[in-house]
Amino acid sequence: MQKNLQIGQQIINSIHNVIGVKDCSLHEPVFDGNEWHYMKECLDSTYVSSVGKFVGQFEQSLVDLTGAKYAIALVNGTAAIHLALILADVAEGDEVLAPTFTFVATANAISYLKATPHFVDNNEDTLGVDPKKLYEYLNKFTKQKDGKCINLKTNKIIKAIIPTHVFGHPCKIDEIVDIARKFNILVIEDAAESIGSYYKNKHTGTFGLMGTLSFNGNKTITTGGGGAILTNNKEIAKKAKHLSTTAKLDHKWDYLHDEIGFNYRLPNINAALGCAQLEQLPKLLKSKRLLFKKYEDKISLIKGVSLFKEPKECKSNYWLQTLLLDFQNKNNRDEILSLTNENGLMTRPAWILMHRLKQFNNNPRMNLSCSESIADRLINIPSSSNLIGKN
State the SS3 of 111-168. HHCCCEEEEECECCCCCCECHHHHHHHHHHHEEEECCEEEECCCCCEEEEECCECHHH
**Residue whose C-alpha is closest to residue 243's, from 219, 264, 222:** 264
Say what the pLDDT of residue 4 is.
54
Say what the pLDDT of residue 3 is.
52
Say what the pLDDT of residue 266 is.
98
Domains of the chain: 2-30+280-390 (3.90.1150.10), 35-277 (3.40.640.10)
**Residue whose C-alpha is closest to residue 20's, from 382, 287, 305, 336:** 382
What are 258-313's pLDDT values in tens digits?
999 999 999 999 999 999 999 999 999 999 999 999 999 999 999 999 999 999 99
CA 256 to chain centre: 35
Say what the pLDDT of residue 390 is.
54
* pLDDT by 10s per residue, the chain, length 391: 455 558 999 999 999 999 988 789 999 999 999 999 999 999 999 999 988 999 999 999 999 999 999 999 999 999 999 999 999 999 999 999 999 999 999 999 999 999 999 999 999 999 999 999 999 999 999 999 999 999 999 999 999 999 999 999 999 999 999 999 999 999 999 999 999 999 999 999 999 999 999 999 999 999 999 999 999 999 999 999 999 999 999 999 999 999 999 999 999 999 999 999 999 999 999 999 999 999 999 999 999 999 999 999 999 999 999 999 999 999 999 999 999 999 999 999 999 999 999 999 999 999 999 999 999 999 999 999 999 865 4
- Cα torsion 351, 355, 358, 363: sign: positive
- What is the rounded CA–CA span in Å between residue 165 and residue 126? 8
Report the half-sphere exposure of 342 (CA within 13 A, side-chain side): 9
Say what the pLDDT of residue 388 is.
81
- What is the rounded CA–CA span in Å between residue 113 and residue 106? 12
Helices (H), the chain: 2-19, 35-45, 53-66, 77-87, 104-112, 131-141, 173-182, 234-244, 268-299, 333-342, 369-377, 387-390
Q: What are phi and psi of 60, to 5 degrees?
A: -65, -35
Say what the pLDDT of residue 389 is.
60
Starting at the edge strand found earlier in the chain, the sheet holding 70-74 runs 70-74, 227-231, 210-214, 186-190, 158-161, 95-99, 116-120
Q: What are phi and psi of 235, to 5 degrees?
A: -65, -40
- Amino acid identity, position 252: K
Q: What are phi and psi of 269, to 5 degrees?
A: -70, -35
Say what the pLDDT of residue 1 is.
42
- What is the rounded CA–CA span in Å between residue 184 and residue 188? 13
**Residue whose C-alpha is closest to residue 56's, from 245, 298, 206:** 245
- Amino acid identity, position 388: I
Asked if 76 contacts 103 with a C-beta cutoff of 8 angstroms, the reply is: no
Which is it for strands 378-381 and 158-161: parallel, antiparallel or unpaired?
unpaired
DSSP-based three-state secondary structure for 93: coil
